[in-house]
Amino acid sequence: MAELITPSVHVHASYQAAVEEYHDEGGYPDFDDLDIGTAGAFAHYVDQLRRVPVRRAGLPGLPAMTLMWWVEGCDYLGRISLWHKLSGDLVKSGHIGYDVRPSAT
C-alpha cells in the first residue's frame, strides 16, 4: 500500500533510479548535482531534508514547508511539498508542489 512518509534511507536504490528518470525527462533542477551515490551520501541528504525542510535554505523569501515522500514499500513514487504560507515567488506559483516519478504515472 502506498503511503506518505518523511524522507527515509530505506528507498535509496529506488530514489536513485527515480532521479535518473527525472533527468531523462529533463526540467528537474532540484536533482542536478545531487550526491546520493553511496549509502552514506544518501543518509546525509535524507538527514538534511528531515532537519531543514527548505532544501534551498538561504534563498530569500522562502517560508518553511513540509516535505513528504510517496512510497510503496521500498519503492519511491514521488514527493509533495506543502508550503506553510505564501510569500515571494510562491504567491504566483502556489503553496502545494508535487512530483510523480515518471514510471509511477
Q: Which residues contact 88 (CB under 8 A, 6 or more apart)?
A: 60, 61, 62
Question: Given pLDDT bands bounded at 50, 70 and 90, which one contains residue 61?
Answer: low
In 3D, which of 44, 29, 32, 31 has the Cα closest to residue 76? Answer: 31
Residue 80, domain extent = 2-104
Q: Note the pLDDT of residue 92.
A: 64
Q: What is the number of domains present in the chain?
A: 1
Mean pLDDT score, 7-19 = 96
87 CB neighbour count, 10 Å cutoff: 13
CATH of the domain at 94: 3.40.630.30
Q: Note the pLDDT of residue 93.
A: 60
pTM: 0.82
Residue 103 near residue 78 (C-beta atoms within 8 A): no
Cell digits for 7?
524522507
Structure confidence by residue, pLDDT tens digits, 72-91? 999 999 999 887 776 666 56
Is residue 2 scored above 60 in pLDDT?
yes
In 3D, which of 18, 101, 6, 14 has the Cα closest to residue 48? Answer: 6
